[in-house]
Structure 1
Amino acid sequence: MDISSQYSSIGGNRNPAAADWDEGGLQLLAFGADNCIALWDPEDNSHRGVREILKGHTKAVNAVKFFTTDSPDVSILLSGAADNSIRVWRGRKHEQPMFECIKTFAEHTGPITRIATLPGTNLFATGASDGTVKFWKLIHDSDFSTIDVELSQTITLSPKYFPLNLALASLDESSAILAVAGTRSTIQIFVSQNAQFELSATLTGHEGWIRALAFTRETSHSGSDLLLASASQDKYIRLWRVHRGDELPAASSALNDPALGGLGKSLSNKAHWISSVAARYSVTFEALLLGHEDWIYQASWRHRDNKLQLLTTSEDNSLAIWESDSASGVWVGVTRLGEISAQKGSTSATGSAGGFWIGLWSPGGNSVVSLGRTGSWRKWTYSATEDMWAQQVAITGHVREAKGVCWSRDGSYLITTGSDQTTRLYSQWKRQGSPASWHEFSRPQIHGYDLNCINAVNDSQFISGADEKLLRVFDEPKGVAEMLHKLCGIQASTSADLPDAANIPVLGLSNKAIQAVGDDERVEQNNEEEREAVDPASVIRKSTLEFNHPPFEDHLARHLLWPETEKLYGHGYEISAVAVSRDGSLVATACRASSIDHAVIRLYDTKEWLEVKPPLKAHSLTVTSLQFSPDDEYLLSVGRDRQWVIWERSTESSMYVLKFANPKGHTRMILSAAWTPLEQPTFMTAGRDKAVKLWQIADGDVHLKATVTAGAAVTAVACNGTLANGNIIFAFGTENGDIGIGGVSVEALDKVDVTMVKTELSPAKTVNQIVWRPGRTEEQQQIAVVSDDTSLRIFDIGTSAS
């Protein structure tokens, strides 16, 4: 079988050091995503999204940094993680996979916090929460075909603190300068003397932990003064000047700036003297930048249009660009991007994005990207003709384990759900003249509990189960249906009386339906006192729901919820599984359980949403998976008690009754099950005993037809709904992320042929669910896979006649 990756979606880690954009080399952006590293090209107009996901680290990736190679065909990436290790990756153009891990080393005894490189040299530095900074030399040949790493110095920080950031720069022809700061309010300056760094100065002034440091030359001339920007949790950015010679530089006018008012006392202009082998230098306070309202996470310099500009990102949901006023020399914020504080809501659902953690310049300097709390990237590009920064389409993804996935009944879109308490809808953006690209188009549910499972009731309704013991049913609003029709060509089958949109009331968990109003209409008060303000989240303007491109993160997080129509009660613990009958008339649900009374399966009809009693009793522990047979004649349930149960629909009523049970179906707990499309009822079970088993109902009994062994516990199994060339096609996923695609001839059910997905394409952690896309051609199938590594992956599967 021919298996290739069609699309990957994964959210970024919330760490200011966990992303970097390669200025040379392949010009890709790398970011930490759980324990993986994702590679993305933000400048790609075809919007292919994440190009590659690199696996290797065993814990969260905290720091990534590109090493300058001066070659357009090679990129060298350094990554550090909470597993105390540092990895060196080499990327080459036109090779698949593009990046490979060349070297791994673990000299630190704590999680890596930051990596800094010194452009133009082979030196790089790493900081870790063991309170040390280490210097390394990258030893390589001209085309980077051989690479080695050598430790040259270790600095133990005193007094001990975690180095949250490092900045390296060349001081002069013989020396380099290093700034280190972190979980203290001071900055330590080290200067290299004879290839060894020594502590030379300590800069004071900040009143909180220091989150960002960045060096730059004041002008493009190599002999100009060095500027150091430091940004802190005290909401201020300080600029420091490193000036060569025994004379102090001209006093900065910033100290006398009346705008700083009472802060003048803490702005000392004390000069710190440092020296290299060649010269003496003064380090003086240069300017204080005010404007952010919350912690500042990142600062990075760029020379743009002959001006020096500083980009900062903050917890206040904004990204600011600063430059020095040519007349007065005062630093001012020239651009502010992001969200206005007034739009913040009380929960993430009504608007608070939770700040921007990362901000990066593009290699050309005309785009900036930032990453926020929701794991989604935002991108702005400067248009010289309009003299403004315009937001562009970027990428999104889950930031915690992705637990459930389902396709709509017609296969036109898919919905995922996970432990980051969101449900996300993905589909293909179809444009004239460009290939279709996958994007997140709606975030139907933003919840207060971790979400575990999901299923489609029909093409415009789904049901989800969470840790809150109840299930919720959602209907597609008109705004989303119209957008999917316009951008994805999905025919809206919804009726006219649907609401336009939905919102979450403050302090609520249920999405309420709301109507859109015209841009010039007044918002009516419902006979309430004039003093009562209208909740801005309960009103949406029609223009807000008109899109000619996939929605930006701001819209996804606020305006594209689905209204909730039903809640299903009855279970006593967290919901573990949900299945919808093939005709859409029944929903079967189960919850976590350790007794026969709680391990019941409850059925609800989808017309009135009433429970069909009594519940089905057979299991003694959590039911892990439920599925109706293709003709709804049977319901299959499997559980942690190692048994599978077949329930048969009784002829008199729509009730299901116990037909077959096998208390020893597997030797360990059964984690997943699926029906095959055969007319003779045949099903598959998958368990912790590393086996997938194929069973068939015949002659009044159930017979084991085949057993497929896997390399690890099998956590997910799924069958394609149609036969391909007379074969049953199925997919399974394991606890360590492996995915296998199997084929079984209908004539010989005991002969199973399995193709494993390439390791570099498969997830890095447990596969939670696999679903086949309905309505595909026999030769070209697709599966969607969600995993504990937070990713959603879509694979193309070509089956040739054999």
Structure 2
Amino acid sequence: MVSITSDYISVGGNRHPAAADWDVQSGVLAFGADNNVALWDPKDDSQRGVYSLLVGHTDKVCAVRFYTCPTTGTKLLVTASADHTVRIWRAATGDHRNFMLSQTLEGHTSSVNTLAVGDGADIVASGAADGSVKIWRITVKGEETKGDLVKSIAMKPRFFPLALALKSLQTDGPMVLAVAGTTNIVQIYVAENTPEGPDFTLAALLSGHEAWVRSLSFTLDKQSQAGDLLLASASQDKYIRLWRLQRGEVMRAAPAEDEDPMLGGLEPTLSNKAHQFHAAGLMYSVTFEALLFGNEDWVYTTAWNPSSERQQLLSASADNTLTIWEQDTVSGIWVSAERMGEISVQKGSTTATGSTGGFWIGLWSPDGKQVVSLGRTGSWRAWCYDPDMDVWVQALGIAGHVRSVNGVRWEPTGGYLLSASSDQTTRLHAQWLRDGKQSWHEFSRPQIHGYDLNCVDTLGPARFVSGADEKLLRVFNEPKPIAKLLEKLSSFKQLAVGELPDTAQIPVLGLSNQYMGEEAPLEEANIADGQAQANQAILSGPEQPPLEDQLARYTLWPEHEKLYGHGYEISAVAVSHDRTLIATACKASSIDHAVVRLYDTSDWHEIRPPLAAHSLTITSLSFSSDDLYLLSVGRDRQWAVYRRSEQDPTMFSLMTSHSKGHSRMILDAAWAPISDHTFATAGRDKLVKIWQIAGESFLCKTSINLKSPVTALSFLPQMQGNSLFLATGEDSGKLSLYTVAADSLEATHLGNIDTLISPSKAITQLAWRPSTEEGGIGQDIYSAKLAVASEDTSTRIYAISNMVS
């Protein structure tokens, strides 16, 4: 029986302040990743990264909260999405690290942006862009989990709730709910218990902020004997305000305006008015406690340290900083005790001007000795507290694409994997080998572009070509620091490291990575030389893969060449196996542009004339394993095969084409690794067809029916016995494996990759890892790795073994 396991999942987090939570009991961190929920254990010694993606939501996940049922102790994960639903996931029996979808709560009519859970309470609150907060009662009986709507609160005056916080006023006392959002007011609701459930009524309006409030969080005041609560509210006005909720009546005399002329203008903002309300027959009051300032941009999240030892508040801001606030023991004033991140590094753009920079989320570990933050690139940074040095030290986080991954390609020997995405980056993934452990990580971000990237292919171990939503292709060379890093941590040794360039930098417009080397003017060359040495030092120091700020700044590959000729966005690229030719195509709605252009890699000139056969966009290009044939397929439902000239190896000419290869557009194609030239095509008509050469044409030998449009396919590069292995990917995210008999070309279904570990959106490209291990092939069993790119923003590697022929 074929065995399929998930080796690596690379995915970026959603840029939404409520879209992550770190569970106190299990240590699992869950975060929204496009329309999925990613699970990661930041304290896992194996550094595996994301170990599972929960599939269920049909739109972006906006809010994530862990919840423990107070009566049964069952661990639940509550998630909310732009698909208008709240979903409840239940921890698998005996395994608190994995979750299964248990219940979908419907009722909101717009994107659900925030969630709140209360310790020891059986209720969950959700806030949505329909201008309402809904209270749900959660009950767990046996294997059944149920959520019932008990109250819907319309926001008056109407605003969109962006932040919620829920807490008991006293032990077993009434619940208090804080609500804030697209207004500068924080609303306090108090619950009266009724037979139908908790009935929340508005008790107080807290004013003082001067812009939208993005985050709310309650904690029990550790300095208070009476069990007072502290509420932190963070706003786009760059300030955090602390409020005290306490029992009894508080009488505070407001200072006269002439006591301090300096405070005259600030008097309304720093007002100490006591807001009083009744709950469960007792009097409570809310007073303004402190103003925390020092951030230079919007403050997105606040979180209280869960540790019982220290009262600390963590805030994440759009100014690229993560701040830990503490109360001074002598004066009682709240001060910034620690600041982490990229302090004042990249100035010039703020969230107020439309930039989506900075840190979106900050979270504490369950023991309060580690913090993580999600940045604008979708990557997680981590810091650990070193008690001996009394400093916070940056640790290895995780990274991934934040938009559709459109292409994956292995280095020709399988040394590393390249992925290209609509998030305008190309990323290099490799294995980190150490002390008997191995894990996959992002080792380099070779290309940070100004256009969405559509396709990528390698030109040997130290060069690649990529195509984007621009009319040209770009070729990049690997810099020395990356080659040395891969050799040191991945045991991937390349020849002729001395010939590699030193380093690269992004120019002001951010379109191409400039080469920094000897050819630059003297002044620039000196700067470049210093930069190269700095890069070398930064990347050669630590015995681990690069951190996020290093990836974004020091791991670029310098651009070597631009390939011109196309009139529209690049749609496909393929490199011949001898690496002498690059074939490319662009988006086209006419015959003029639906051509294949060939480039000679010896001097990068275009080989004319271009190859014409199609009338619409060419979706995929592929060279046969002996480079004798070039195959193109397109949206016009046809495939075409071009033959290489024996006299001039750079020239190809049309050998044959099939105008009705499929009944709908053909989305991908791949050659089989056998001497009788054979290829497979994947169509929107839900068919995979296998074609074999017959004289001057190719005949369809086999058709495979699938359940949804087929978007990607790939043959394993090595035959096993008399069998070929074919992987197919569908529009639905489904992945299937087939064996194909080399003589008859009959296909046998080998198995599907379980939907629980499959992507949730269309597969864009598949790539088998080339095998260089002679001893890896047994008599009847083969183990292989399959890389998968998907529109759900994930790049995955599956380990597939027991592939019995």
1:87 corresponds in structure 2 to 87
Judge conservation of contact 1:503–1:538 (CA < 8 Å) in 2. no
Q: Quote how far apart the aligned CAs of 1:750 are.
A: 2.6
CA RMSD in angstroms comes to 2.6
Partners in 2 of 1:390 and 1:620 — Cα distance?
57
Q: Evaluate the alpha carbon distance shift between residue 446 and residue 261 of structure 1 in structure 2; reply closer, same or farther with a 3 A threshold.
A: farther
Out of 527, 539, 544, the position equivalent to 2:538 is 544
Structure 1 residues 410-433: Cα deviation after superposition (integer angstroms, max 9, x where no partner)? 101000011000000000000024
1:684 corresponds in structure 2 to 680
1:186 corresponds in structure 2 to 185
2:639 corresponds in structure 1 to 644
1:618-697 alignment, distance < 5 Å: 618-654=613-649, 655-697=651-693
1:196-345 alignment, distance < 5 Å: 196-219=199-222, 223-248=226-251, 263-264=266-267, 266-302=269-305, 304=307, 306-344=309-347
Out of 148, 151, 155, the position equivalent to 2:149 is 151
Q: Quote how far apart the aligned CAs of 1:263 are.
A: 3.8
1:10 corresponds in structure 2 to 11
Structure 1 residues 616-650: Cα deviation after superposition (integer angstroms, max 9, x where no partner)? 01111001000010111100111111111110011
Q: Quote how far apart the aligned CAs of 1:552 are.
A: 0.6
Q: Evaluate the alpha carbon distance shift between residue 562 and residue 527 of structure 1 in structure 2; reply closer, same or farther with a 3 A threshold.
A: closer
Partners in 1 of 2:705 and 2:597 — Cα distance?
32
Q: Quote how far apart the aligned CAs of 1:72 are.
A: 12
Judge conservation of contact 1:30–1:64 (CA < 8 Å) in 2. yes
Counterpart of 1:185 in structure 2: which amino acid? Answer: N
Out of 587, 594, 605, the position equivalent to 1:599 is 594
Q: Quote how far apart the aligned CAs of 1:221 are.
A: 6.9
Q: Quote how far apart the aligned CAs of 1:700 are.
A: 3.4
Q: Quote how far apart the aligned CAs of 1:747 are.
A: 3.0
**Matched position secondary structure for 1:161:** coil
2:549 corresponds in structure 1 to 554
Counterpart of 2:465 in structure 1: which amino acid? Answer: I
Q: Quote how far apart the aligned CAs of 1:509 are.
A: 1.4
Partners in 2 of 1:72 and 1:582 — Cα distance?
60
**Matched position secondary structure for 1:374:** coil
Moved more, 241-250 or 556-565: 241-250
**Matched position secondary structure for 1:17:** coil
Judge conservation of contact 1:642–1:669 (CA < 8 Å) in 2. yes
Q: Evaluate the alpha carbon distance shift between residue 726 and residue 223 of structure 1 in structure 2; reply closer, same or farther with a 3 A threshold.
A: farther
Q: Quote how far apart the aligned CAs of 1:397 are.
A: 0.5
TM-score of the two chains, using structure 1 as the length reference: 0.94
Moved more, 296-305 or 424-433: 296-305
1:771-790 alignment, distance < 5 Å: 771-775=767-771, 777-778=776-777, 779-790=782-793
Structure 1 residues 205-264: Cα deviation after superposition (integer angstroms, max 9, x where no partner)? 101000011111111878421111111000000111112112447999xx9999989645
Structure 1 residues 370-419: Cα deviation after superposition (integer angstroms, max 9, x where no partner)? 10110100111101111111111111110000001100011010000110
Judge conservation of contact 1:514–1:539 (CA < 8 Å) in 2. no
Matched, 1:718 2:714: yes
Counterpart of 1:549 in structure 2: which amino acid? Answer: Q
Q: Quote how far apart the aligned CAs of 1:535 are.
A: 13
**Matched position secondary structure for 1:307:** coil
Structure 1 residues 524-554: Cα deviation after superposition (integer angstroms, max 9, x where no partner)? 84699xxxx9999898454222231111100
**Matched position secondary structure for 2:745:** coil
Matched, 1:454 2:452: no
Q: Quote how far apart the aligned CAs of 1:507 are.
A: 2.1
Out of 461, 465, 468, the position equivalent to 2:467 is 465
2:41 corresponds in structure 1 to 41
Judge conservation of contact 1:706–1:752 (CA < 8 Å) in 2. no
1:127-142 alignment, distance < 5 Å: 127-141=127-141
1:166 corresponds in structure 2 to 164
1:373 corresponds in structure 2 to 376
Partners in 1 of 2:804 and 2:149 — Cα distance?
56
Partners in 1 of 2:473 and 2:482 — Cα distance?
22
Q: Evaluate the alpha carbon distance shift between residue 758 and residue 103 of structure 1 in structure 2; reply closer, same or farther with a 3 A threshold.
A: same
Counterpart of 1:278 in structure 2: which amino acid? Answer: G
Partners in 2 of 1:228 and 1:258 — Cα distance?
29
2:404 corresponds in structure 1 to 401
1:341-490 alignment, distance < 5 Å: 341-344=344-347, 354-433=357-436, 435-490=437-492
TM-score of the two chains, using structure 2 as the length reference: 0.93
Counterpart of 1:662 in structure 2: which amino acid? Answer: H
Q: Alignment length, in residue pairs?
A: 783
Structure 1 residues 340-382: Cα deviation after superposition (integer angstroms, max 9, x where no partner)? 213458899xxx9920000111111101111011010011110
Q: Evaluate the alpha carbon distance shift between residue 222 and residue 739 of structure 1 in structure 2; reply closer, same or farther with a 3 A threshold.
A: farther
1:576-595 alignment, distance < 5 Å: 576-595=571-590
Partners in 2 of 1:171 and 1:346 — Cα distance?
41
Judge conservation of contact 1:168–1:215 (CA < 8 Å) in 2. yes
Q: Quote how far apart the aligned CAs of 1:75 are.
A: 2.5
Judge conservation of contact 2:297–2:350 (CA < 8 Å) in 1. no
Judge conservation of contact 1:460–1:494 (CA < 8 Å) in 2. no
**Matched position secondary structure for 1:58:** coil
Counterpart of 1:467 in structure 2: which amino acid? Answer: D
Partners in 1 of 2:28 and 2:749 — Cα distance?
38
2:608 corresponds in structure 1 to 613
Q: Quote how far apart the aligned CAs of 1:699 are.
A: 3.3
Q: Evaluate the alpha carbon distance shift between residue 651 and residue 499 of structure 1 in structure 2; reply closer, same or farther with a 3 A threshold.
A: closer
Partners in 1 of 2:211 and 2:372 — Cα distance?
26
Partners in 2 of 1:34 and 1:658 — Cα distance?
42
Q: Evaluate the alpha carbon distance shift between residue 437 and residue 338 of structure 1 in structure 2; reply closer, same or farther with a 3 A threshold.
A: same
2:564 corresponds in structure 1 to 569
Q: Evaluate the alpha carbon distance shift between residue 729 and residue 322 of structure 1 in structure 2; reply closer, same or farther with a 3 A threshold.
A: same
Partners in 2 of 1:204 and 1:758 — Cα distance?
52
1:510 corresponds in structure 2 to 512
Partners in 1 of 2:263 and 2:363 — Cα distance?
28
Counterpart of 2:788 in structure 1: which amino acid? Answer: V
Q: Quote how far apart the aligned CAs of 1:201 are.
A: 0.9
Counterpart of 1:545 in structure 2: which amino acid? Answer: L
Partners in 2 of 1:97 and 1:732 — Cα distance?
30
Partners in 1 of 2:428 and 2:681 — Cα distance?
28
Partners in 2 of 1:584 and 1:688 — Cα distance?
31
1:763 corresponds in structure 2 to 759
Structure 1 residues 687-713: Cα deviation after superposition (integer angstroms, max 9, x where no partner)? 000000001002333111100011000
Q: Quote how far apart the aligned CAs of 1:495 are.
A: 4.0
* Percent identity (aligned): 51
Q: Quote how far apart the aligned CAs of 1:21 are.
A: 0.6
Q: Evaluate the alpha carbon distance shift between residue 83 and residue 508 of structure 1 in structure 2; reply closer, same or farther with a 3 A threshold.
A: closer
**Matched position secondary structure for 1:266:** coil
Partners in 1 of 2:294 and 2:380 — Cα distance?
23
Counterpart of 1:9 in structure 2: which amino acid? Answer: S
Extract unaligned runs of 5+ from structure 2.
none
Partners in 1 of 2:225 and 2:754 — Cα distance?
48
Q: Quote how far apart the aligned CAs of 1:334 are.
A: 0.2
Moved more, 591-600 or 1-10: 1-10
Judge conservation of contact 1:402–1:788 (CA < 8 Å) in 2. yes
Judge conservation of contact 1:7–1:793 (CA < 8 Å) in 2. yes
Moved more, 507-516 or 154-163: 507-516
Q: Quote how far apart the aligned CAs of 1:751 are.
A: 3.9
